[in-house]
Chain A
Amino acid sequence: MRDFILKRVAALILPFICMYGLYVIFHGHVSPGGSFAGGIIVGLSFIAFATIYGLEKGRAKLPETVLNWTESYGTLWYGIMGMVGIVKGAPFLANKLAGVSLGAPGALSSGGLISLIGLGVGIRVASTMVTLFFTMMEEEP
């Protein structure tokens, strides 16, 4: 019962922190922020969960295999999105040259592939941070 208030407040706030991180990732090209900052915020919500509720519950949310898969395939997703340009006959990571339609300026869809690339980078950053913290927290006596 000692940290009842902490646990209740964390249960209320942490989903919104995770949602805000995804917002920062997807709006990386039209507003301040980007995939690195958004990925850190997403990872931070899981790290704070594991710090407050204990490592076992954090491990139950994000098992080792899920972290391995997201960490590896986030990078692979970046490569796949870069190969779209080569398949279309344009340079690597080409966006408009590859024929991806850019919508109205300022809209969320005006970035073409950038949102999808940022999603891969953000997932990669978040899972790296979570892996780092879980490894460090396991070492405590």
Chain B
Amino acid sequence: MSILYFTATDYRIMVLLLILVAASLALYFIKDLLHAVIVYGAYSLTMALIWLQMNTPDLAITEAAAGICMTVLMMVVIFRTSRREE
């Protein structure tokens, strides 16, 4: 019975969580570091959208700035100095 009481936001969060699980699993199996960084950006973007659906735009801004831009730039700068394959 309780499935009747899901709102539109709940369904949106479910779809986003499925994308999140897919991105996390892909992060585990990808060997190339550049591809892993790109997939991590997709993961952070999905997480920011989930925060937005949960009515916390504050965390969404922080996730977008720190998760997407900062971490991806940090990874790019780091693996410029090291070898690319895992």
Interface set of A (CB-CB < 8 Å, partner B) = 24, 32-34, 36-37, 40-41, 44, 47-48, 51, 129, 133, 136-137, 139-141
Contact = CB atoms under 8 A, between A and B. Distances in A.
A114 to B, nearest CB: 15
Given A139-B81, A140-B80, A33 B61 contact: yes
Interface in B51-85: 57-58, 60-62, 65-66, 69-70, 73-74, 76-78, 80-81
Nearest to B81: A140
B77 A40 contact: no
A141 B81 contact: yes
Interface of B: 57-58, 60-62, 65-66, 69-70, 73-74, 76-78, 80-81
B80 to A, nearest CB: 5
Contacts of B57: 32
A141 B65 CA distance: 28
B69 A44 contact: yes
A31 B60 CA distance: 13
Contacts of B73: 44, 47-48, 51, 133
Contacts of B69: 40, 44, 48
B61 A32 contact: yes
B77 A37 contact: no
Contact of B77 (A34, A36, A137): A137
Contacts of B62: 33-34, 36-37, 40
21 contacts: A32-B57, A32-B58, A32-B60, A32-B61, A33-B62, A34-B62, A36-B62, A37-B61, A37-B65, A40-B65, A40-B66, A41-B65, A44-B69, A48-B69, A51-B73, A133-B73, A133-B77, A136-B77, A136-B81, A137-B77, A139-B81
